[in-house]
Structure 1
Amino acid sequence: MSEPQKSLREGLIYGLIAYIIWGLVPLYFKTVKNVDSYEILAHRTFWSIVVLALLLTALKRWNDLRLTLRKPKTVAILAVSALLLVGNWYGYIVSVYTNRLLESSLGYFMLPLANVAFGMIFFGERLRPLQGLALAIAAFGIGRMIWTYGDIPWLGLFLTFSFGLYGVMRKIAPVDGLIGFTIETIVLLPFAITYLTFLALQGKMQFLHPPGVQDLWIVLAGVVTTAPLICFAQAVRRVGLISLGFIQYLSPTIQLLIAIYVFQEEFSESKRFSFFFVWVGLGIFVIDTVVMLQQTKRPEAIVHNVDAVEVD
């Protein structure tokens, strides 16, 4: 197997792991729903750095981290991606806490299509005719939803664009998943510690008050957060944003099923009809991607390696 083929295969495996975990994450957040959304957001950052420190030690990557921290432009890119990431985290937590997981799943159904646009805008990836048709049909579905409900699904759109742009930033950052996410977490850590300290001094922090099983679930926020993001970052550096869209529908599909059958959110006929157009667009997109993969004789044509990009 050639190196481009190996890279593509590894990227797809990393992507599958990331999106399956993300699809199941709503079950985790329902478990800690009694914890204030801002506090759980701070805990995600704090416990992630603990997990990352253990990984850096086990893999002997501390020197790689130090070297990357000496590259101002790389750190600047990761600071921007950190802000996009924490915004996406908060929006997602809110969607679960407020029983809007259906809208969240809509946002992530749209994400692969948004990545097509971002791939064109930022990386010069070419839009094929079927991809254009897929985008148009999906946009019609979103437009119909806005027309039907008289309201724009802001939360879903926010999740789409915040994580789509996060993928763009991570793709241009010449750093692997572990080191990149560690730096992002370091950027966010002072804010998390400050907020948790404020809650503790006010006697309002729910962690350890009183100690119990919920504390264990809060600590697991580090694993729940870290594992899929590292896998995603590894995937996005091995596979083009358009190609990665092939598997991104897994996460919102799992979320949708959880929203309907576990959380019992209303999925009316009108909502189903609007989702239908998004699904048709995704179906066309997936078919086009499969055909493209089968017709591509040189896998390196769809693997976008950015290791050579100089940004320091």
Structure 2
Amino acid sequence: MQSHRAGNALAAFSFVLWGILPLYYQFLPQANVNDLLALRILFSVPFMLLAMMILRRPLPALSVIWQDKRSLSMSAVAGLLMCVSWYAFTWAMTHGQVLAASLGFFINPIFAIALGVFFLKERLSQAQKIAVILAIAGIAYQVWHYGTLPWLALIMGSFFALYGLAKKHIRYDALTSVTLEAAILSPFALLFMAYGGLSGTSTALNSDWQTLLLYIGSAPVTLAPLIFFALAIQRTSLTMVGLMQYIEPSIQFLLAVFLFGEVFDQTKAISFSFIWLGLLLCSLEAISHSFKRPRLSV
């Protein structure tokens, strides 16, 4: 029971950390997103190795990693998918589009449900079917009024869901997998930063040391919640994690509207309401299932 409570607390803390990430990026307005992505990849590897040492997790043996080539290749795929989602997220954070990021994380479970149906042959419950329909209706309402798709939110939500699908085919533990995803992409990130430094086109390398540290700091501030999440998932139920995942976009939503002053007009209110209603139905269904007790046979 105590372990379960600790898991719940760790999960909640990880989602709170993810939720307040927009506050960090306020120190990097109009940042060079390419530099941010490259430096985040490069410094993720030493940070993850340090975290594994602090947590007394054994460092992965290269021979063991190489034996599971399928997981290794899927780690590369997962890393690329995360790059796309994280690129969209970072652009939103540094260009006054925190509300779009919030929407992306709210619709992510809908994309995950759809991928589960198409690729894992999972069956939708009644609440999930309604949630998918409501999400489509909410996005369609925005398109009808604005005349354009909410591309940032859709890219973030869909690619993060694809990242989750790829992770299902990786047999390494969570921390090893995240470390490998960054390690595989590190040579490309290093080449990009080297070219930017030599050609003088790198914003991060040509800035003052405080700004450069903020660029580098994007690695630990985005990976710290992931480590707490990895610790939580071993101690609590997936139902609790699923219910608590809405902490993150909820905090981002509140920051966008009340702190950053982003426009939340009637169209967005109605669109969000469709999606919130669908998520509420799925959450209530998950809660009801978690409280059900198996009947004893007579």
TM-score normalized by the length of structure 2: 0.88
Q: 2:99 aligns with which of 87, 102, 105?
A: 102
Q: 2:277 aligns with which of 268, 277, 280?
A: 280
Structure 2 segments unaligned to the other structure (5+ residues): none
Q: 1:93 aligns with which of 81, 90, 95?
A: 90
Could you say what secondary structure the match of 2:163 adopts?
helix
Alignment-mate amino acid for residue 64 of structure 2: L
* 2:257 aligned with 1:260: yes
Alignment-mate amino acid for residue 36 of structure 1: N
1:11/1:57 CA distance change after superposition, 3 Å: closer
Q: 1:191 aligns with which of 188, 193, 204?
A: 188
* 2:223 aligned with 1:226: yes
Following TM superposition, by how much is the alpha carbon of 1:61 offset from its aligned partner in structure 2, in angstroms?
Answer: 2.2
Q: How does 1:1-312 map to 2 (within 5 A)?
A: 12-58=8-54, 59=56, 61-64=58-61, 66-207=63-204, 209-232=206-229, 244-297=241-294
Structure 1 segments unaligned to the other structure (5+ residues): 299-312
1:236/1:86 CA distance change after superposition, 3 Å: farther
Cα separation, 1, equivalents of 2:6 and 2:62:
23
Aligned to 1:303: none
Alignment-mate amino acid for residue 96 of structure 1: M
Alignment-mate amino acid for residue 292 of structure 2: Q
Percentage of pairs with the same residue: 31
User: Are the equivalent residues in 2 in contact too, given 1:88–1:158 (CA < 8 A)?
Assistant: yes
Following TM superposition, by how much is the alpha carbon of 1:51 offset from its aligned partner in structure 2, in angstroms?
Answer: 0.5
Alignment-mate amino acid for residue 180 of structure 1: S
User: Are the equivalent residues in 1 in contact too, given 2:8–2:240 (CA < 8 A)?
Assistant: no
Cα separation, 1, equivalents of 2:139 and 2:30:
32
1:134/1:34 CA distance change after superposition, 3 Å: closer
Query: For the aligned residues, what is the CA RMSD?
Result: 2.7
Cα separation, 2, equivalents of 1:253 and 1:50:
31
Alignment-mate amino acid for residue 223 of structure 2: T
User: Are the equivalent residues in 2 in contact too, given 1:15–1:232 (CA < 8 A)?
Assistant: yes
Corresponding residue pairs, total: 294
1:69/1:35 CA distance change after superposition, 3 Å: farther
After superposition, the C-alpha distances for 1:149-170 in whole angstroms (9 at most, x for unaligned) are 1111111111111001111111
Cα separation, 2, equivalents of 1:204 and 1:36:
10
TM-score normalized by the length of structure 1: 0.84
Cα separation, 2, equivalents of 1:182 and 1:172:
16
